Amino acid sequence: DTGVSQDPRHKITKRGQNVTFRCDPISEHNRLYWYRQTLGQGPEFLTYFQNEAQLEKSRLLSDRFSAERPKGSFSTLEIQRTEQGDSAMYLCASTRGGLDTEAFFGQGTRLTVV
Amino acid sequence: SQQGEEDPQALSIQEGENATMNCSYKTSINNLQWYRQNSGRGLVHLILIRSNEREKHSGRLRVTLDTSKKSSSLLITASRAADTASYFCATEGLNTDKLIFGTGTRLQVFP
């Protein structure tokens, strides 16, 4: 087990294009979270999954954002019609679930929309 | 949205000194956690303190929690240059399974 991995590490895209990020959690972890972080700020919660079920979405997540975890393993986060304001670090984390469990984070995907 | 605010926003100290960071949050919690983030990297879990605990230690880290004041502090003793990073508190609220992060403290330790 090599921890949480995210791909790609960096993405530069033109405004209006669609982008998709992938997260592979720690294999025995059933919860997977997506966060967004801008410079100088803490991570902001976007959405999370319990196995393949998406349990909560932040109001920050506009209808241009969609996330999936089809088999309860890896997850994808897609942003359609990207805007410059979408430029940020997108972080994925996984946990074993239950109370009082620590989150393990990936290295993040840095998105730049030009 | 951010649950917590951290104070100070930035802290610069010399190696060997202690660093203290404070976190205030807004709603009742199951636990509070502290994470560290090196520049441009993912977050690493440092320590978790449950709502019924008041103090916890891990190596050079000491965390306190005051639920009546909705605040926590992280003390790093005998700091090292390698401690230079951003530090975030995160709360797991009641009836929720997500961690909500504070705004962070940027710590710079000079050799």
The confidence band for B105, taking pLDDT boundaries of 50, 70 and 90, is: very high
pLDDT tens by residue, A45-93: 999 999 999 999 998 788 999 999 998 899 999 999 999 999 999 999 9
Give percent above pLDDT 70 in chain A: 98
What pLDDT shows up at residue A97? Answer: 79
What pLDDT shows up at residue A87? Answer: 97
Which range has highest mean pLDDT (A35-44, A93-102, B89-98)?
A: A35-44
Cα–Cα distance measured from residue B83 to residue B38, given in angstroms and rounded to the nearest whole number: 9
What residues of B are in contact with residue A44 (Cβ under 8 Å)? 1-2, 101
Q: What residue type is B8 in one-letter code?
A: P
Cα–Cα distance measured from residue B83 to residue A96, given in angstroms and rounded to the nearest whole number: 28
Contact between chains at A41 and B50 (C-beta distance less than 8 A):
no
pLDDT tens by residue, B24-81: 999 999 999 999 999 878 899 999 999 999 999 999 999 999 999 999 999 999 999 9
Mutation to test the B interface, candidates A6, A32, A41, most B Cβ within 10 Å: A41
Is the CB of residue A36 less than 8 Å away from at least one CB of chain B? no
Contact between chains at B31 and A99 (C-beta distance less than 8 A):
yes
Residue B1 has pLDDT above 70, yes or no: no
What pLDDT shows up at residue B2? Answer: 53
The confidence band for B3, taking pLDDT boundaries of 50, 70 and 90, is: low
Tell me the count of A-B CB pairs closer than 8 A: 70
In chain A, beta strands by DSSP E = 5-7, 10-13, 19-24, 31-37, 44-50, 53-57, 65-68, 75-79, 88-95, 104-105, 109-113
Q: Which residues contact A98 (CB under 8 A, 6 or more apart)?
A: none
A72: closest CA of chain B, how far (Å): 17
Contact between chains at A110 and B40 (C-beta distance less than 8 A):
yes
Residue of B nearest to A5 (CA): B42
What pLDDT shows up at residue B79? Answer: 98
Is the CB of residue A55 less than 8 Å away from at least one CB of chain B? yes
Instruction: Estimate the share of chain A in helix, then strand, then coil, as percent rounded to the nearest 5.
Output: 5, 50, 50
B77: closest CA of chain A, how far (Å): 23
pLDDT tens by residue, B75-99: 999 999 999 999 999 999 887 778 9
Is the CB of residue A11 less than 8 Å away from at least one CB of chain B? no
Contact between chains at A91 and B43 (C-beta distance less than 8 A):
yes
Residue A1 has pLDDT above 60, yes or no: no
The confidence band for A95, taking pLDDT boundaries of 50, 70 and 90, is: very high
